[in-house]
């Protein structure tokens, strides 16, 4: 096999430089371990940018993909295939009664959700078409989704904005209420903001948003691209929310990506039937969406999470990390806040660190930095308690060094 240096020289000639890539070539993975092309081993605390929810090369996923690959790869979506139905049935069991549209990515799922919300908006008089989203949100990088995203830097250089997206202050129900006029069709929000810095809302906010959407007949879209699929210690991020009477706070439409494909390209728009029924033939589609291999893997991920009790494992490891990092005297002076749910954690530093990811690599861990000074940890749900502790030890060293 070629050395990292040789591969990097080739990459510089043939790959567009749109990613701030580290000069490291990853060659092999197993669970939470990752090896580069020179044989150096890393503990991956951010596998696949949220995608590899069961870690690298999980045996059950290899088996599911291989079995399906030998049977049927793909047919056009003008025919049925059973893996799509099985995965959609799984979502009904884990989430709410709904119907699925499959695509490849989070942004595509959000595009589909916004189109569906506008279709519903057209059933009102006057017609509604605006979609409200929140400051510090992130919804993807298509032209429409950079307009939906509540971070102007993401859209810079790509103007003019796609019309119809309105931004309000995140977590403030008064600001949201004021922004609802006769043209507003929907509210789009992440249950926990990921790219924006692992931001949680005030405790009653989501229930108040749901109430407002009910009162004003708005479509509520939860972008669960980061939070869905077990990442937060619950099946879906919205399952952390409660209404005043203790009931569930459910969206009308939920979008999924990242974790539900385990690293394969899977996006899902999952909508309550009364909304989903508006998406009739000709209104939307995706040639490779719902690919049987991806669907077989997606369904198996939920099976493994249930079989191995990975939600409670994630919740326990997450609580342990929050308490450990908040109370470690060695880094107390550097840390502003540690927050999150399950294995979606943010460690906000007081100051933006220098070369944090590089220091992580030197110390044998893969971590991520977002919103200038929030270290993100989103390890595989399969990480062991021993690996997690080892990773946190290394993280403490890294934080001390930056
Ligand atoms: C909340 C959220 N929505 C949507 C997206 C876009 O997903 P994708 O990169 O799969 O298009 C992301 C990506 O990070 C995200 O965090």
pLDDT digits (tens, 9 = 90+) for 214-266: 999 999 999 999 999 999 999 999 999 999 999 999 999 999 999 999 999 99
In terms of pTM, does the model score above 0.75? yes
What is the distance between the alpha carbons of residues 269 and 377, in angstroms, rounded to a whole number?
Answer: 26
Q: Is residue 339 domain-resident?
A: no
Question: Is the pLDDT assigned to residue 2 strictly greater than 90?
Answer: no
Maximal C-alpha separation, the chain: 64
Residues in contact with 279: Cβ distance below 8 Å, sequence separation at least 6, in sequence order: 101, 112, 115, 116, 119, 271
CATH of the domain at 212: 3.40.640.10
Mutation to probe ligand 1, out of 134, 232, 257, 268 (largest number of atoms < 8 A from CB): 257
Q: Is residue 179 domain-resident?
A: yes
What is the distance between the alpha carbons of residues 234 and 315, in angstroms, rounded to a whole number?
Answer: 8
pLDDT average, residue stretch 360-366: 98
Mutation to probe ligand 1, out of 103, 140, 260 (largest number of atoms < 8 A from CB): 140
Q: Is residue 1 domain-resident?
A: no
Tell me the residue range of the domain where 228 lies.
60-307
In this structure, the residues whose C-beta lies within 6 A of any atom of ligand 1 are 105-107, 110, 138-140, 190, 194-195, 223, 225-226, 257
Report the separation in Å between the CA atom of 70 and the middle of ligand 1, taken as the mean of its atom positions: 31
Question: Is the pLDDT assigned to residue 30 strictly greater than 80?
Answer: yes
Question: Is the pLDDT assigned to residue 379 strictly greater than 70?
Answer: yes
Question: Is the pLDDT assigned to residue 1 strictly greater than 70?
Answer: no
Average pLDDT of the chain to the nearest whole number: 97
Q: What is the pLDDT of residue 315?
A: 98
The string of pLDDT tens digits covering residues 100-156 is 999 999 999 999 999 999 999 999 999 999 999 999 999 999 999 999 999 999 999
Packing angle of the helix pair 385-401, 310-327 (nearest 10 deg): 30
Report the separation in Å between the CA atom of 400 and the middle of ligand 1, taken as the mean of its atom positions: 31
Q: Is residue 377 domain-resident?
A: no
Q: Is residue 267 domain-resident?
A: yes
The string of pLDDT tens digits covering residues 65-113 is 999 999 999 999 999 999 999 999 999 999 999 999 999 999 999 999 9
- Domains in the chain, number: 1
Q: What is the pLDDT of residue 109?
A: 98
Q: Is residue 325 domain-resident?
A: no
Residue 63 CB coordination number (10 Å):
13
The string of pLDDT tens digits covering residues 171-220 is 999 999 999 999 999 999 999 999 999 999 999 999 999 999 999 999 99
Q: Is residue 166 domain-resident?
A: yes
Report the separation in Å between the CA atom of 113 and the middle of ligand 1, taken as the mean of its atom positions: 13
Q: Is residue 177 domain-resident?
A: yes
């Amino acid at each position: 096999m070629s050395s990292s240096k040789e591969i990097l020289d080739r990459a510089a000639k043939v790959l567009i430089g749109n990613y701030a890539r580290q000069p490291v070539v990853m060659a092999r993975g197993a669970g939470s371990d990752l090896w580069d092309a020179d044989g150096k081993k890393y503990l991956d605390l951010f596998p696949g940018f949220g995608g590899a929810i069961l870690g690298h090369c999980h045996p059950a996923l290899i088996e599911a993909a291989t079995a399906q690959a030998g049977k049927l790869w793909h047919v056009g979506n003008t025919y049925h295939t059973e893996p799509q139905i099985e995965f959609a049935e799984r979502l009904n069991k884990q989430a709410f009664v709904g119907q699925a549209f499959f695509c490849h990515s989070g942004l595509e799922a959000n595009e589909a959700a916004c189109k569906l919300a506008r279709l519903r908006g057209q059933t009102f008089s006057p017609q509604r078409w605006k979609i409200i989203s929140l400051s510090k949100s992130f919804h993807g990088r298509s032209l429409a989704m950079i307009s939906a995203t509540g971070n102007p830097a993401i859209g810079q250089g790509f103007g003019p904005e796609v019309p119809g997206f309105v931004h309000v202050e995140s977590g403030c129900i008064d600001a949201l209420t004021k922004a609802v006029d006769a043209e507003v069709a929907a509210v789009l929000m992440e249950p926990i903001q990921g790219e924006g810095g692992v931001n949680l809302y005030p405790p009653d906010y989501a229930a108040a948003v749901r109430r407002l959407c009910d009162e004003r007949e708005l479509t509520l879209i939860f972008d669960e691209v980061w939070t869905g699929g077990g990442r937060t210690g619950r099946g879906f991020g919205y399952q952390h929310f409660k209404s005043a009477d203790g009931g569930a706070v459910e969206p009308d439409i939920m979008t999924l990506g990242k974790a539900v494909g385990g690293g394969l390209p899977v996006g899902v728009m999952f909508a309550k039937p009364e909304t989903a029924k508006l998406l009739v033939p000709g209104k939307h589609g995706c040639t490779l969406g719902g690919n049987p291999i991806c669907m077989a893997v997606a369904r198996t991920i939920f099976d493994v999470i249930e079989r191995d009790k990975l939600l409670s494992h994630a919740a326990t490891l997450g609580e342990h990390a929050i308490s450990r990092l908040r109370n470690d005297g060695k880094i107390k002076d550097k840390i502003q806040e540690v927050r999150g749910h399950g294995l979606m954690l943010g460690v906000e530093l007081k100051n933006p660190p220098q070369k944090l990811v590089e220091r992580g690599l030197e110390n044998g861990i893969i971590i991520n930095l977002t919103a200038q000074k929030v270290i993100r940890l989103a390890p595989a749900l399969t990480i062991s308690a021993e690996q997690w502790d080892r990773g946190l030890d290394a993280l403490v060293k890294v934080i001390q060094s930056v």
